[in-house]
């Protein structure tokens, strides 16, 4: 892979952030084993990149997977000999972890495919990027290491366009904007992510308001980076959390500034969503093997469609901004 010209950082951090190697621990193991070369020279973790170099990562033979293949039905949007794109349902974990060992997308892929890339390690075969358990939509998986590396590099260089559909609380004052912060593990709750200062990792999200309703909006959101919980954290950060999000302010106990009638309607709509109203709707990429540009679209899941239908049938009043104490 070629390092972008403006890059100025340690190689261990660069490899971790690009996703070319699945985990930070794996990056360190590869560097300690002398399997990472920059412009043909073996380097250590402390090596600082200047931009423009060529990195070669030699992957050891993958360990036999401990994952149990499970014949779980998959909604496959696209598949060929190099990769596949799956429309993940709500409730499915992408790969094992935190006590979850069965029923994941990784288990299902193991049963569906004879060959999957080993870059993700024994617990993440073929998986190029992730979605939260309750988020629905498109996920890519690679069937060989070359395809996996190419897709990971394209993600890092922002050559793959990922568009999400989100229903959020309130009306955003700017109908189209970019949110740029640094995101990292919350200092008060290690299970959550948060907007941080210099200690966080760069996170860039763009959004466009597609529709506005009485106390909610439908957004089209694009990821420029891929941090954990990025969209959910960013939308909470600007005061418009994803509707129904139990972790990042999307299921408020009180509705400041809403009339009693609107409060009843809002609570009724929350009953339609037991999760965040967030869906990975579109993926646009250049196929690593054929060079052909491809676009994949996943329709809204039924719960989000039901919510949207109810919002569209309601009133279209003035904007409500959570946290401001009323309408504007």
Residues contacting 208, CB < 8 A, separation 6+: 175, 176, 219, 220, 221
* Burial category of 310 from C-beta neighbours within 10 Å (exposed 0-12, middle 13-18, buried 19 and up): middle
Using alpha carbons, list the distances in angstroms from residue 72 to 8, 75, 219. 44, 10, 31
Partner residues linked to 282 by β-bridges:
163, 297
Q: Is residue 109 within 8 Å of residue 79, measured between CB atoms?
A: no
Residues designated catalytic: 132
Contacts (Cβ under 8 Å, ≥6 apart) of 229: 132, 183, 192, 193, 247, 248
Residue 323 in contact with residue 239, Cβ under 8 Å? yes
């Amino acid at each position: 892979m070629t390092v972008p010209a403006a890059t100025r950082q340690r190689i261990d951090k660069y490899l971790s952030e690009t996703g070319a190697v699945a985990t930070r621990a794996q990056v360190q193991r590869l560097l300690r084993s002398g399997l990472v070369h920059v412009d043909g020279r073996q380097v250590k973790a402390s090596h600082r990149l200047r931009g423009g170099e060529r990195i070669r990562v030699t992957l050891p033979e993958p360990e036999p997977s401990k994952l149990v293949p499970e014949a779980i039905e998959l909604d496959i949007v696209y598949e060929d000999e190099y990769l596949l794109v799956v429309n993940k349902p709500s409730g499915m974990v992408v790969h094992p972890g935190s006590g979850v060992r069965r029923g994941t997308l990784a288990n299902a892929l193991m049963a569906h495919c004879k060959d999957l890339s080993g870059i993700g390690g024994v617990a993440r075969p073929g998986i190029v990027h992730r979605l939260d358990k309750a988020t629905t939509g498109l996920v890519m998986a690679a069937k060989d290491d070359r395809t996996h590396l190419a897709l990971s590099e394209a993600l890092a260089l922002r050559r793959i366009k990922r568009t999400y559909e989100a229903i959020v609380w309130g009306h955003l004052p700017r109908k189209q904007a970019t949110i740029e912060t640094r995101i990292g593990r919350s200092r008060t709750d290690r299970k959550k992510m948060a907007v941080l200062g210099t200690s966080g990792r760069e996170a860039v999200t763009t959004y466009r308001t597609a529709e506005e309703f009485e106390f909610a909006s439908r957004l089209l959101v694009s990821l420029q980076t891929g941090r954990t919980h990025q969209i959910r954290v960013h939308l909470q950060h600007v005061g418009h959390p994803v509707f129904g999000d139990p972790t990042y302010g999307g299921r408020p106990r009180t509705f400041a500034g809403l009339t009693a009638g609107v409060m009843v309607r809002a609570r009724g709509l929350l009953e339609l969503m037991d999760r965040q109203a967030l869906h990975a709707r579109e993926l646009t990429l250049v196929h690593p093997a054929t060079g052909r540009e491809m676009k994949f679209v996943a329709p809204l899941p039924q719960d989000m469609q039901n919510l949207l239908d109810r919002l569209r049938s309601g009133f279209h009043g003035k904007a409500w901004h959570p946290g401001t104490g009323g309408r504007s």
